[in-house]
Amino acid sequence: MPAVRVALVGVLALAAVALTVTVGRLVTLDTTWRTWLIDRRSPPLTAVMTGITTVGSTPVLVAVAIGISVWRLAGHHPREALLVGGTTAGAVVLGPLLKSVVERSRPGDAHLVLVNSWAYPSGHSLTSTAVIGVLTALAFRRPAAGRRRTATVTAGAALVVAVGISRVYLGVHWPTDVLAGWLIGASWLAVCLLMFSTSGPVRRGSPR
């Protein structure tokens, strides 16, 4: 299993690198997909997409991650708290860092929300993939999850996808920005889960 997980990290990372190298050649596809989504705007759908993009924003996800980390610490699960905190912190740092390296401009029109940073990769997509992914993984590990595991994974994946789509719908990203965010976020998540699974449990004192 460790070998499979390492291979998964490698595949995701290579896919992210390949996309970054070729993104300049995908302008036609980017424009086509973005235009298709924007053409389907409506007031009710815009309200839904705005709400989804808010859920996938860094402040909201960081607040959720902090809350979960504190909860796991209080429940004497420091490794899980560290996993959530470390995954979130890394994602929050990776997004702006990669944006400053690639320096891809955002689409120039049809913005429905304010933005003031580079486009690639989508920070919402990257961070939501990492944070929602790690929370989904922890929920999946719980014995009580039982048959709800499939529903948990499906719901987590659907939310991540919805956040990414919302960014294109709202006009502030190219589709490849979002795809890169998903790939990089998944790569970072896979690294964190690999480290978590291969590290030993932290020794705890006897409960008082």
pLDDT of residue 16: 73
What the block records as the tokens of 46 is 């815009």
- What does the chain come to in residues? 208
pLDDT of residue 177: 93
Domain segments of the chain as ranges: 2-22+43-195
pLDDT of residue 133: 95
Task: Tell me the catalytic residues.
Answer: 124, 173
pLDDT of residue 205: 44
pTM above 0.75?
yes
pLDDT of residue 103: 87
Peptide bond preceding 121 in cis form (omega within 30 of 0)? yes
Give dist(CA 36, CA 161) in Å, integer. Answer: 17
Give dist(CA 111, CA 95) in Å, integer. Answer: 20
**Along the 208 residues of the chain, how does pLDDT read in single tens digits?**
555 656 666 677 777 777 776 777 778 888 999 999 999 999 999 999 999 999 999 999 999 999 999 999 998 889 999 999 999 999 999 999 999 988 889 998 889 999 989 999 999 999 999 999 999 998 887 766 567 778 888 999 999 999 999 999 999 999 999 999 999 999 999 999 988 888 765 444 433 3
Q: Are 168 and 178 in contact (CB under 8 A)?
A: yes
